[in-house]
């Protein structure tokens, strides 16, 4: 007499906080993780999974991209902007990555053979801030000189 059974597998099983198994299909090709089967004779159903690793992209500036799960062995692309405007003419310039990548390009790839974490390293550029201060100083000096010349004319008259 046939038996009806419900079999299930988890869609996702977390192995560590940055590694997981993702359900792909059953050994007979069925892609639904939950299914009802009728068993009339001995049968074996094995869940087939794929391993995925998480890439964590950290950055204080530049809108980091690429922090998602990737299939084991795949190539993951991650990136940030090359520069970001800050307050008062300050500019933050991407310098390099640290952690699982030491690349110096803002957009790079990495092979996901395990969980990865990368952090963008930035350099602060004060060039515009210094230029703004220099312009303000020149204008202030010019105003002082004009005021002194007016005072000389007023006292001479």
Domain range summary for the chain, segments of one domain joined by +: 3-125
- Residue 132: which pLDDT band, with cuts at 50, 70 and 90? low
Mean pLDDT of all residues in the chain?
86
pLDDT cut 90: percent of the chain above it: 48
Does the pTM exceed 0.75? Answer: no
Residue 16 confidence (pLDDT): 79
Q: How many CB atoms lie within 10 A of CB 97?
A: 23
Tokens 């087939």, residue located: 48
Residue 87 DSSP class: G
pLDDT at residue 130, as a whole number: 54
Per-residue pLDDT band for 138 (boundaries 50, 70, 90) equals: low
Condensed to tens digits (0 to 9), the pLDDT of residues 5-45 reads 666 767 777 777 899 988 899 888 989 888 888 888 888 88
Query: Above 90 in pLDDT, residue 80?
Result: yes
User: Angle at the Cα of 109 (from 91 to 115), degrees rounded to 5?
Assistant: 105
The whole-number pLDDT of residue 115 equals 97
More confident residue, 121 or 129: 121
Q: Comparing 107 with 28, which gets the higher pLDDT? A: 107
Instruction: Identify whether the C-beta of residue 56 lies closer than 8 Å to the C-beta of residue 25.
Output: no
What separation in angstroms does the CA of 77 have from each of 10, 19, 101, 139?
28, 18, 12, 48
């Amino acid at each position: 007499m046939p038996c009806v059974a419900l079999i299930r597998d988890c869609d996702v099983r977390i192995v560590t906080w940055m590694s997981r198994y993702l359900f792909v299909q059953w050994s007979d090709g069925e892609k639904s993780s939950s299914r009802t089967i009728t068993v009339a004779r001995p049968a074996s159903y094995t869940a087939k999974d794929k391993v995925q690793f998480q890439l964590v992209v950290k950055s204080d500036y530049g809108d980091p991209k690429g922090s998602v799960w990737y299939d084991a062995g795949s190539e993951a692309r991650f990136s940030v902007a090359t520069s970001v405007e800050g307050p008062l003419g300050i500019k933050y310039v991407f310098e390099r990555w640290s952690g699982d990548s030491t690349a110096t390009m803002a957009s790079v790839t990495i092979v996901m053979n395990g969980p990865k974490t990368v952090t963008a390293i930035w350099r602060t550029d004060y060039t515009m801030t210094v230029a703004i201060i220099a312009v303000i100083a020149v204008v202030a000096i010019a105003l002082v000189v004009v005021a002194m010349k007016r005072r000389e004319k007023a006292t001479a008259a």
